[in-house]
Structure formats: C-alpha cells, structure tokens
Structure 1
Amino acid sequence: MFWFALAVDLAAIILLSYCLYFRRHGRRDLLLAYLALNTGIFAVVSVLTQREVGLAVGFGLFGVLAILRLRSDTIGQGETGYYFTAIALGLVNAVAASAPWTLLGINALLLGVMFVADHPRLLARRERRLVTLDVVHEDPVSLRQDLEARLRGGVEHVEVAEVDYVRDLMVVDVRFRAAPTEPAFSPSRRGGVSARTGRR
C-alpha cells in the first residue's frame, strides 16, 4: 500500500502545485517549495508510522518547521493556504496508506476545495493594495476619487494607515474592483503612487 499512497501523493501535489497554484499565480520558487515539502513530509511520516516513534512527535516537528518556514519569507494568505494543503496531503497520504478509499476521498476533498476557493471567477477582480499617496486628502470623497483614478477601479473600502504632513504623504489600505482591462500584475509604482498588491 506504500507505493499506492506514494503515487496518489505525487499525483495530488503535482495537481495542487502546478495545475492549480503555478498556472494561477506563477511563482516558481513556491512551486518547488510545495513539492519538496509535501514529498519530505510523506517520506518522514511514512517512516514514523512504521517505527516505535510517537506519531505526535512527527506532527509536532513539522508544525515547528512550518512556522519557521512561514516566518522566513513573505507570502500571501492565499499562498499560505496552498502551503498548508501541501502539508495536509503529505500527512494524510502517509497516515491513511492502509485505507485507500479514505485516502482518495480526502485527497479529492482537499484539491476540490482549493480549486473552487481560489478560482478566478469566484471573487473576480477583487484586489487589495497598500497605497502610498504623494498628497494628503482631508476629504474622504476626494480621497476615494483619487484612488479610483489611480487604480482604475471601483473602490469598496478605504482605511487610512498613516498620514505624514511633513513629507506630505499618506498610506491607505484599499479594497477595490479592478477594471477588466487591467493586467494581472500591475507595476509597483505608477505616477506618484506605490503599492503592494494582493488578491482577495
């Protein structure tokens, strides 16, 4: 049953990392990270389940490693979801190797949830940006109009994070609906405004 579970795990992580994540988000470094993490967890947990070592020790170890890995680089919340799904697939496929139907069902569930939850049409063109403006707006209406002109989309929510009257700038957290013609990856700077972007 080990080889069956290994084949299922490899197929599942390839579907998750390449067919779902990479084709939608395009980060090659995280593609490799998901593959390595999943296969490493599968291998180690498979050994732990066959030895006189408490399985809780293995889970605790990978929990610590996951926290350290997440703190070592800046990744989005959506990418964190893929990260933990890769961990879950490795754990499930190693532990449930003796129950093939349970194994297949959980794999299908995890992959199906990620396929639907991260589908571009589910929350189409909703984006979040932390924007630094080169002007301070006292009027919320003028602030919203300025942001809509710069971001070329309908602003849904604005939260002012910082105002600097000395340097005449302000930092705002913006949720908006992007225009259909806007490219998927916008420049980080455009005409006096800098932004960090994130899909919602």
Structure 2
Amino acid sequence: MSPTVLYAADLVAVLVLTFALYLPRHRRRDLAVAYLGVNVGVLAVAATLASSTVGAGLGLGLFGVLSIIRLRSAELSQTEVAYYFASLALGLIGGLAAAPVGIALMAVVVLVLAIADSPRLLSRYRQQTVVVDRAVADETALVAHLEQLLGGRVRRVSVQRLDLVNDTTWVDVRYDADPRGTVVPTARRADPVAATPRPDEADRWAVAQR
C-alpha cells in the first residue's frame, strides 16, 4: 500500500481530532492551530526520516525535546496535553508505520480520545482551586463549607495554603457536582465557617453574646 494512503489517513484523523472533537468541546482556537501544525510537521519529518539514512531514534529524541519546550511555554490543562500528544502520535504513525497497522492505530487514538473526553463520561466529577475568605484549620468545617458553597459532595480536600495573616485558605477540592446544578439550601445545612466570626469581629461578637 502506498505511503500516500497513510498521509491521507493522518490528515483525516487529525482533522477529526481537531474540528470534530476538540473545538466543539473546548473552544480554543490557538490550540487547534497548534495541533494541526504539530501533526503536519511531525508527519513531514517522520516521513523524511523513514526514507533517509538518519536514525529514526534521533528524530524521535529531537521531537521529545521540542515537545517539552512547547509544553513549558504555556499553561495547558491535562486534557489539552492529551490532545497535543495525540496529534503528535498521529503524525509519527503516519510517517513511520506500515499502512494497515498505521490506519488501525490512528483510529484507536481518535476513538480513545472521543470516549475519554466525552461530556457524558464522569460528568459529575469536578476539580477546582478555591480561595476561602477565612483561615479554616478544621478540615470538617472546611468540607462542610465547601459543600455548601459548591453544591456537591466533596470527595477530597487538599489545603494548599493556610494564610493566618490575610485570613484566607487556598484549597484544591475534588467533588461530585449536583446533577441538577442546585445548591444545598442554607436552611437545611448549617455552615460552620460562615457562622464563625472573623478575628477582627471577635470582640464585638463576644459582647453581642452577653
């Protein structure tokens, strides 16, 4: 089978990856251009390496260095990194693999990303970095406050910074969102963090309690 078939299959695969999967789901034009450019560039160089006396290992090592530099030049989410390496892998397969196996591998790469990045897969699982406007050392109170704030069930909490000077708590929280998108009513759940007075209000609060 002619290598041209593999090149055409690679172009079809990266177009599906970019315009049928990534853009409708994430809406970031600059990365769509990057995915297309990376794929076509890797395909061209891989095809050149496959037909020359230069070792393919050297070429792959150079691409590894370039990919690290590219990923360190801008902040990307883990999902965007997955698309980035998928477009790179498609180019390598198109330039180096045998035709029947290469086409099958391209289809697998696109299919796996289509399923793994589906909005219906684990749609309730969320992750956020939250800055709470109180310094909360009690993890139980912090979890209750976050569930009240986010309207979901907190699964894991990791305190990144407990700032006693500025009275803030930076926390990475993993939670299950309410499928209805509703927040738990305040009347049904007390918020221990909101009920706790700030340090600068402690004296007035104590006087009011007498």
- Superposed pair shares fold, TM > 0.5: yes
Partner of 1:192: none
Structure 1 residue 18 corresponds to structure 2 residue 29: no
Distance 2:80 2:122 in 1: 16
Distance 1:30 1:180 in 2: 30
Q: Which has the higher strand share?
A: 1
Pick 1 or 2: higher relative contact order, CA cutoff 8 A, min separation 6. 1
Please state how far the C-alpha of 1:69 moved relative to its aligned partner.
0.4
Partner of 1:145: 144
Q: What secondary structure sits across from 1:123 in the alignment?
A: coil
Partner of 1:126: 125
Segments of structure 1 that go 5 or more residues without pairing to the other structure are 183-200
Distance 1:181 1:160 in 2: 28
Structure 1 residue 156 corresponds to structure 2 residue 163: no
Query: Deviation per CA, 1:62-102, whole angstroms, max 9, x where unpaired?
Result: 11100000110100111111111111100001112xx3211
Structure 1 residue 41 corresponds to structure 2 residue 42: yes
RMSD: 1.4
Please state how far the C-alpha of 1:20 moved relative to its aligned partner.
1.2
Structure 1 residue 104 corresponds to structure 2 residue 103: yes
Q: What secondary structure sits across from 1:142 in the alignment?
A: helix
Please state how far the C-alpha of 1:181 moved relative to its aligned partner.
5.0
Q: What secondary structure sits across from 2:6 in the alignment?
A: helix
Aligned amino acid, residue 36 of structure 1: G
Please state how far the C-alpha of 1:113 moved relative to its aligned partner.
1.2
Structure 1 length-normalised TM: 0.85
Distance 2:3 2:131 in 1: 53
Distance 2:144 2:160 in 1: 18
Distance 1:85 1:101 in 2: 19
Instruction: Report percent identity of matched pairs.
Output: 42
Partner of 1:60: 61
Distance 2:125 2:27 in 1: 18
Structure 2 length-normalised TM: 0.81
Distance 2:159 2:177 in 1: 20
Distance 1:168 1:143 in 2: 14
Distance 1:93 1:76 in 2: 26
Distance 1:21 1:180 in 2: 24
Distance 1:58 1:141 in 2: 53
Number of residues of Structure 1 aligned to a counterpart in Structure 2: 180
Distance 1:26 1:148 in 2: 29
Segments of structure 2 that go 5 or more residues without pairing to the other structure are 182-210
Q: What secondary structure sits across from 1:18 in the alignment?
A: helix
